[in-house]
């Protein structure tokens, strides 16, 4: 989207309808919304009614502030971290102005209990009119009656029962439409929302075609958008969705001033025109988070139309958002000349209703007077897509002006860190079908952002109409470790560099290695031992880098060698009785330990240890059995092993060893794998990463605190057909893996947690 000069200068063009819905209650309590999430607390400072404020740490500057609009009682409401005596930020500055552009300043003490006791919002103090809950048979009303009543467009109950249920939930509450504060302006260089279309190069949709019976999902990258796009039908004219409001974590993962928009919409994909969208904006700086509701129509004209709703959603709130092309009365009409929106907060019972050209206080928006005479003009291409998007707007709020300025400035492209995943459950209606979803639309694009920064976003689709968008601490994958492999690369840190070792691509059984200095991988080198048909393992023991592997071809003996930083010594044979898999290595209690599955069809697990001179006789007895590879790590003075089950059992098991006895195996790391997990210790947690079960080549991860494995999360790179490897280098956790399917390229990523 583009923001016009007038939009930048005139606040009424930006701040639009405030509609707070109430039933028989006179107040909305803060407890109506779920708890905000990790480290964040609701806060409020009493200022004056009708102000626009920027909130930032004292000692910082207002251009690093998040926007907050005060309510009718004069409270500025936001989320912040409660400060202790050790925190560098103890107080916040609020720089505000009113409709007459008079300025005022306030201070928020982050150590004071009163700051974190926000009073309830009292609707009696807010002028407005009531909207009753929808009564009787919802299907007895015409669409025109429902729109005039402020209930939006009713989805087809028979063809789209899920969409109908979402709409009915939002329509079945009573409402109160509140008046707006008028006459406020915002600086031209800092707008709460500037939505950007994906970077150039996206293909424009072709002419309308009859959708095929097939359903396809493709992966695409965009510079700012993440989520899903329906693009296989023709004439998309409406979309509806519910989604959860996540908790944004200020300052996490090195983020500064950030902003994202969570929205669903119709139009715009590949055309940069005709997009009507609505949802929630989230802003953070180093200490504070603020939330806004919005709707916007974009682009292709000199005037872009943006409205910021007067209610502020809270983390955990459930939002219903519906957008459609309409006529001046709000009736669905692709060529009606207007765009309509309704955004409902089901926890606060708050909504933004923009469904009539003469509506007050939020009208629908005209798509452009020139479209009636030149419907194919720029800005008049409508209905090419429907979207469910979390959008990165940080570059826009960080933009600078003046001589020598850049757009976007360095380190300004991070998404806010947020938890949990945003779950869009939604659908669209088109000229072909009254229900188009991510599970049945002829062509669905799963869109991921292309910036390689720590705040990376992962996207996945659910089985019905769900799109999950999740902040992940894993960066976007980077290609470029050596020439390729048909196995898995091994990782470990040695002499202040990250080392990788692997077998060659295809039938090449030579072993290669390389090292990483934090910026670049060195040119690969060949020469570890005589070769392998599997994958080597690495570990550092007594200031030398050790490698172990099974032999080449059908040779199931295990070999080992060590490296002083310059030369690998000749290989030696003699670790245990043999394996058809790959051994694992780790140092525990001043011994180098190895573990492996047996040779051929023997799925028992064996282990041995090395004192620097000789390997001890192998011992059997780590858990039940495995048809994959084991992984080893030392965590809290115990040796941990993890593996997949025997045969076709894709569950993951683990056990720990005190130096004498292996504890009984336990089951329960994630959802399953067809190959086996990898382990590493990072930040006082034991981490595991693995590919999915069966043909699922996505990569998952989890962490263990000594008692419980956390719920698995998706988001390590683009996928692999084998086991990824984990290792700590510097203060980051790195992963490396081969590509999916026949892709023998090697990729890497690193992990930086939110805190």
Task: Convert the pLDDT of each residue in 489-526 to its tens digit.
Answer: 999 999 999 999 999 999 999 999 999 999 999 999 99
- Whether 145 is in a domain gets the answer no
- Is 319 in contact with 346 (CB distance < 8 Å)? yes
- Whether 463 is in a domain gets the answer no
Do 368 and 283 belong together in one domain?
Answer: yes
Taking residues 421-439, report their average pLDDT. Answer: 94
Return d(Cα 444, Cα 387) in angstroms, integer. 10
The residue from 80, 105, 125 where one domain ends is: 125
pLDDT at 123 > cutoff 90: no
Percent of the chain whose predicted confidence (pLDDT) is above 70: 84
Return d(Cα 470, Cα 415) in angstroms, integer. 11
pLDDT at 182 > cutoff 90: no
* Residue of 738 and 304 predicted with greater confidence: 738
Do 252 and 373 belong together in one domain?
Answer: yes
Using CB atoms within 10 A of its CB, is residue 2 exposed (0-12), middle (13-18) or buried (19+)?
middle
Spell out a b/e string for 567-577, using b for 16 or more CB atoms within 10 Å of the CB, else e: ebeebeeebbb
- Sequence-distant (6+) residues with CB within 8 A of 213 are none
- Give the per-residue pLDDT at 394: 87
- Beta strand 216-222 with 443-449 is parallel
Spell out a b/e string for 362-391, using b for 16 or more CB atoms within 10 Å of the CB, else e: bbbbbbbeebeeeeeeebbbbbbbbbbbbb
Total domains in the chain come to 3
- Whether 705 is in a domain gets the answer yes
Q: Give the best-scoring range by mean pLDDT among 35-39, 142-146, 270-274.
A: 142-146
Q: Which of 237, 150, 224, 148 is nearest to 193 (CA)?
A: 224
Tokens 């939006």, residue located: 152
Do 226 and 90 belong together in one domain?
Answer: no
Return d(Cα 330, Cα 260) in angstroms, integer. 28
pLDDT at 175 > cutoff 50: yes
The residue from 423, 450, 477 where one domain ends is: 450
Percent of the chain whose predicted confidence (pLDDT) is above 90: 63
- Give the per-residue pLDDT at 301: 58
Show the domain range for 620: 489-749
In the structure, what pLDDT confidence band is assigned to residue 361 with cuts at 50, 70 and 90?
low
Return d(Cα 383, Cα 330) in angstroms, integer. 17
pLDDT at 286 > cutoff 70: yes
Return d(Cα 441, Cα 215) in angstroms, integer. 6
DSSP 234-279: S---EEEEEEEPPEE-TTGGG--SEEEEEEEEES-TTTS--EEEEE
In the structure, what pLDDT confidence band is assigned to residue 23 with cuts at 50, 70 and 90?
very low
pLDDT at 22 > cutoff 50: no
Please enumerate, as own/partner, the contacts of 645-651 that have beta carbons within 8 Å and a separation of 24 or more.
646/603, 647/603, 650/674, 650/693, 650/694
pLDDT at 268 > cutoff 90: no
Do 498 and 576 belong together in one domain?
Answer: yes
pLDDT at 748 > cutoff 90: yes
Do 383 and 507 belong together in one domain?
Answer: no
- Whether 54 is in a domain gets the answer yes
- Give the per-residue pLDDT at 7: 29
* Residue of 427 and 456 predicted with greater confidence: 427
> Which range (3-7, 21-25, 706-710) has the least confidence?
21-25
The pair of structure tokens assigned to 583 is: 């051994």
In the three-class reduction of DSSP (H, G, I as helix; E, B as strand; rest coil), residue 11 is classed as helix
- Whether 439 is in a domain gets the answer yes
Do 226 and 319 belong together in one domain?
Answer: yes
The CATH number of the domain holding residue 694 is 2.120.10.10
Return d(Cα 531, Cα 545) in angstroms, integer. 18
- DSSP letter assigned to residue 436: B
Taking residues 679-686, report their average pLDDT. Answer: 96
Do 582 and 731 belong together in one domain?
Answer: yes
- Is 645 in contact with 603 (CB distance < 8 Å)? no
In the structure, what pLDDT confidence band is assigned to residue 192 with cuts at 50, 70 and 90?
very low
Do 356 and 211 belong together in one domain?
Answer: yes
Do 436 and 510 belong together in one domain?
Answer: no
pLDDT at 542 > cutoff 50: yes
Taking residues 552-564, report their average pLDDT. Answer: 98
- Whether 19 is in a domain gets the answer no
Return d(Cα 228, Cα 386) in angstroms, integer. 9
For the segment 460-489, what is each residue's pLDDT rounded down to a tens digit?
898 889 999 988 888 878 898 999 999 999
- Is 424 in contact with 462 (CB distance < 8 Å)? no
Return d(Cα 498, Cα 489) in angstroms, integer. 12
The residue from 125, 141, 170 where one domain ends is: 125
- Sequence-distant (6+) residues with CB within 8 A of 661 are none
The pair of structure tokens assigned to 513 is: 């290695």
- Is 233 in contact with 442 (CB distance < 8 Å)? yes
- Give the per-residue pLDDT at 129: 67
- Whether 214 is in a domain gets the answer yes
Q: Which of 415, 373, 360 is nearest to 392 (CA)?
A: 415
What is the average pLDDT score of the chain?
Answer: 85
- Is 539 in contact with 520 (CB distance < 8 Å)? no
- Give the per-residue pLDDT at 352: 87
- Whether 633 is in a domain gets the answer yes
- Give the per-residue pLDDT at 403: 38
The CATH number of the domain holding residue 119 is 2.60.40
For the segment 559-593, what is each residue's pLDDT rounded down to a tens digit?
999 999 999 999 999 899 999 999 999 999 999 99
> Which range (46-50, 159-163, 370-374) has the least confidence?
370-374
In the structure, what pLDDT confidence band is assigned to residue 161 with cuts at 50, 70 and 90?
very high
pLDDT at 729 > cutoff 50: yes
Do 177 and 260 belong together in one domain?
Answer: yes
- Give the per-residue pLDDT at 211: 40
Do 344 and 434 belong together in one domain?
Answer: yes
Residue 420 CA: distances (Å) to CA of 34, 217, 393, 509, 672: 13, 24, 19, 44, 22
Do 379 and 522 belong together in one domain?
Answer: no
In the structure, what pLDDT confidence band is assigned to residue 528 with cuts at 50, 70 and 90?
very high
């Amino acid at each position: 989207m583009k923001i016009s000069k007038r939009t930048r200068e005139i606040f009424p063009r930006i701040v639009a309808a405030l509609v707070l819905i109430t039933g028989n209650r006179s107040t909305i309590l803060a407890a109506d919304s779920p708890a905000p999430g990790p480290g964040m607390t609701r806060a409020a400072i009493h200022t004056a009614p009708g102000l626009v404020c920027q909130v930032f740490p004292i000692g910082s500057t207002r251009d690093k502030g998040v926007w907050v609009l005060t309510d009718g009682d004069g409270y500025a409401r936001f989320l912040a971290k409660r400060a202790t005596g050790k925190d560098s930020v103890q107080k916040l500055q609020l720089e505000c102005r009113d409709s007459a552009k008079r300025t005022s300043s306030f201070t928020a003490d982050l150590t004071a209990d009163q700051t974190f006791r926000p009073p309830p919002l009292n609707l009696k103090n807010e002028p407005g009119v009531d909207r009753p809950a929808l009564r009787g048979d919802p299907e007895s009303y015409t669409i025109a009656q429902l729109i005039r009543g402020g209930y939006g467009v009713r989805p087809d109950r028979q063809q789209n029962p899920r969409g109908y249920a979402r709409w009915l939930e939002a329509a079945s509450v009573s409402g109160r439409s509140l008046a707006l504060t008028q006459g406020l302006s915002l600086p031209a260089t800092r707008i709460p929302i500037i939505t950007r279309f994906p970077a150039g190069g996206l293909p424009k949709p072709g002419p309308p075609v009859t959708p095929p019976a097939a359903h396809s999902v493709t992966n695409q990258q965009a510079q700012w958008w993440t989520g899903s796009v329906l693009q296989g039908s023709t004439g998309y004219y409406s979309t509806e969705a519910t989604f959860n409001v996540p908790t944004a974590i200020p300052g996490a993962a090195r983020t500064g001033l950030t902003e994202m928009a969570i929205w669903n919409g119709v139009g715009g994909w590949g055309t940069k025109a005709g997009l009507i969208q609505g949802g929630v904006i989230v802003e953070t700086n180093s200490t504070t988070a603020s939330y806004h509701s919005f709707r916007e129509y974009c682009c292709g004209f000199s005037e872009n139309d943006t409205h910021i709703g007067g209610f502020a959603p809270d983390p955990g709130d459930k939002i219903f958002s519906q957008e459609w092309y309409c006529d001046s009365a709000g009736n669905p009409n692709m060529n009606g000349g207007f765009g309509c929106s309704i955004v409902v907060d089901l926890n606060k019972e708050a909504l933004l209703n923009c469904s009539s050209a003469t509506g007050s206080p939020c009208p629908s928006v005209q798509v452009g007077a020139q479209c009636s005479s030149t419907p194919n003009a720029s800005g008049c291409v409508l209905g090419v897509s429907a979207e469910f998007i979390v959008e990165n707007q940080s570059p826009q709020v960080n933009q600078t002006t003046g001589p020598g300025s850049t757009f976007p400035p360095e380190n300004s492209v991070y998404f806010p860190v947020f938890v949990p995943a945003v779950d869009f459950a939604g659908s669209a209606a088109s000229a072909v079908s009254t229900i188009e979803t991510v599970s049945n639309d002829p062509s669905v694009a799963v869109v991921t952002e292309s910036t390689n920064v720590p705040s990376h976003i992962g996207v996945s689709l659910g089985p019905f109409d769900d799109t999950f968008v999740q902040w992940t601490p894993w960066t976007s994958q980077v290609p470029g470790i050596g020439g390729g492999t048909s196995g898995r690369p091994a990782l470990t840190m040695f002499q202040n560099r990250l080392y990788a070792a692997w077998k060659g691509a295809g039938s090449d059984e030579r072993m290669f290695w390389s090292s990483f200095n934090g910026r670049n991988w060195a040119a690969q080198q060949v020469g570890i031992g005589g070769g392998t048909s599997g994958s080597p393992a690495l570990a550092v023991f007594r200031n030398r880098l050790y490698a172990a592997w099974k032999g080449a071809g059908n040779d199931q003996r295990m070999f080992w060698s060590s490296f002083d930083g310059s030369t690998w010594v000749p290989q030696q044979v003699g670790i245990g009785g043999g394996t058809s898999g790959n051994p694992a290595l780790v140092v525990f209690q001043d011994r180098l330990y190895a573990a492996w599955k047996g040779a051929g069809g023997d799925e028992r697990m064996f282990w041995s240890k090395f004192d620097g001179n000789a390997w001890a006789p192998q011992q059997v007895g780590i858990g039940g059995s495995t048809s994959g590879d084991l992984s080893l790590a030392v965590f809290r003075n115990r040796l941990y092993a993890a593996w997949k089950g025997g045969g076709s059992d894709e569950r993951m098991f683990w056990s720990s060893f005190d130096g004498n006895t292996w504890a009984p195996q336990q089951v329960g790391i994630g959802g399953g794998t067809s190959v086996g997990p990898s382990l590493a210790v990072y930040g006082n947690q034991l981490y595991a990463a693995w590919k999915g079960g069966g043909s699922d080549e996505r990569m998952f991860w989890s962490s263990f605190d000594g008692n419980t494995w956390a719920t698995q999360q998706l988001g390590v790179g683009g996928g692999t057909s084998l086991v990824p490897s984990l290792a700590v280098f510097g203060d980051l956790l790195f992963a490396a893996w081969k590509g999916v399917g026949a892709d023998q390229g090697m990729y890497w990523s690193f992990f930086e947690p939110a805190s």
